[in-house]
Chain A
Amino acid sequence: MVDLGSIIGLALGLVASGDTELYAIILLSLRVTLTAVLIGCLIGLPLGAALAVLRFPGRGAAVAVLNSFMGLPPVVVGLVVYLMLSRSGPLGVLGLLYTPTAMIVAQAILVTPLIAALARQSIADLHGEYDELFRSLRLGPARQIATLLWDGRYSLTTAALAGFGRAIAEVGAVIIVGGNIEHVTRVMTTTIALETSKGDLPLALALGMILVAISIGVNAMVLSLNRTAQRLAHA
């Protein structure tokens, strides 16, 4: 049993020395998750706004499905994406399995419902407030949605950050579709899982500390966004 103090020392050393392997893993994590969140926003924000504004048959059911997809288990998403991308799967010809692209796809599927559901809620609240003005000005749905997305930008950014927080910390989906291949698809969470079981605790702990720092940073951003929104009376 190695003693904890020296593990922490080695981990801090790794972080401080700018270890290339460590930073390659961090960068890949950020690239995969930020891309997935970007895709999640491009799909999820208009989707959430449309569900908040448009009235159509089956809307209630669509909202219920969306809300229940907020908490999709990452391993199940990973499994489904694996089945789609595996050589015998419908998208097998693309050869995407065990690539960062596959991880992006899996995480995008994971965060899109979360972002859409959070966006729908805050847009619906805002729509309740703006509805009379919209109707007085006789605005069409496209202009309404554009207005709500812009005026709801602070709470929507919070929704995007929630998606980021969920994706950066998940391990189940990326490990199944990425395969945790060294220098190719190893991200922070999969590396922590692997290195802990292999016994390379300093690397695992260094990544763990970075991960916690990122999540603290995300929360700090949420707080400061809320404060800015309050100050501008945009909340």
Chain B
Amino acid sequence: MLDALDQGRQGGGTRARVGRPPMFPVEAQGITVRSDGRLLLDDVSLALTHGPRTVVMGPNGAGKSLLLRVLHGLVAPDAGTVNFAGRAADAAVVRRQAMVFQKPTLLRRSARANIKYVLGGLDRAARTAAADSILAAARLSHVADSPARRLSGGEQQRLAIARALALDPDILLLDEPCANLDPASTLAVEEMIDSARDGGAKIVLVTHDIGQARRLADDVVFLSGGRLAEHTPADRFFAAPCSAAAADFLAGRIHIPGGHDRR
């Protein structure tokens, strides 16, 4: 799929990303988000480098989706900064990110039209061809002409990811892309994520699925109650997490901040 895209865009076939200013590391410094006196993100600082796939984990309401929105520039933090290669995000940097939302929005159009919508700078025929090869890679060719919102949940999720990949992003932010998917669809999504990574994209993925995190993570960001509990290489995280919150999470214990833990 990425090859097809590159041909369509006349970009370098190796995705050398020539001419693109550097955007790594991505450094979040002291990110704080408040709402109605609640601290939704509390002084979160982390640095993301280009290569490793970062998996963000944590209980419901920990602030995972919010952190992705802040990184993507959709939510301005009340305090703190996000820098890309040492500079604040500008339009060029921002356009090189793509995000797949927890509840993806598909346009009221065919699956193919959803892809074509984000393909700019090509003539009509080239866009159709590029969209078709992207759909093929997402195994969605058979529903190319179907209304996007008529697809099954798994197909919709794959379409949303394919549309994000069509943007040829340097950073791909995925918010629970496999929630509600069966194992086969999950596998298909993971293959798409792999191919994006092979194509040179930095992956930041939120998941509750520990198995998926083990399969995909190179490093793990663990959030709990709006705080960064830890940011650890994956092998170390799964062997022996540093934080009590993560240890409880991995052991299947429910950790209620300020309350009694249940086993």
Measured CB to CB, the nearest residue on chain A to B94 is A138
Interface SS of B by simple majority: loop
A132-B105 in contact (CB<8A): yes
Q: 1/0 contact trace for A109-133 toward B, CB 8 Å?
A: 0000000000000000000011011
Interface presence of A94 (CB below 8 A): no
Interface presence of B112 (CB below 8 A): no
Chain B residues near A147 (CB, 8 Å)? Answer: 107, 117
Interface presence of B227 (CB below 8 A): no
- Report Cα–Cα, A36/B188, bound state, in Å: 52
Q: 1/0 contact trace for A49-73 toward B, CB 8 Å?
A: 0000000000000000000000000
Interface presence of B15 (CB below 8 A): no
Chain B residues near A232 (CB, 8 Å)? Answer: 108, 147, 149-150
Interface presence of A21 (CB below 8 A): no
Interface presence of A233 (CB below 8 A): yes
Interface presence of A87 (CB below 8 A): no
Contact-residue bracket for chain B? 10 to 19
Q: 1/0 contact trace for B142-162 toward A, CB 8 Å?
A: 000001011000000000000
B92-126 CB contacts (< 8 Å) to partner A: 94-95, 98-99, 101, 105, 107-109, 117-118
Q: 1/0 contact trace for A155-173 toward B, CB 8 Å?
A: 0000000000000000000
A151-B109 in contact (CB<8A): yes
- Report Cα–Cα, A233/B91, bound state, in Å: 34
Q: Contacts A136-B98, A138-B91 given; indicate if A130 touches B105 (C-beta within 8 A).
A: yes
A151-B107 in contact (CB<8A): yes
A234-B108 in contact (CB<8A): yes
B149-A135 in contact (CB<8A): no
B95-A138 in contact (CB<8A): yes
Interface presence of B239 (CB below 8 A): no
**Which residues on A are within 8 Å of B, measured CB to CB?**
129-130, 132-133, 135-138, 147, 151, 232-234
Q: List 13 A-B contacts (CB under 8 A).
A: A129-B105, A130-B105, A130-B107, A132-B101, A135-B74, A136-B99, A136-B101, A137-B167, A138-B91, A151-B107, A151-B109, A232-B150, A234-B147
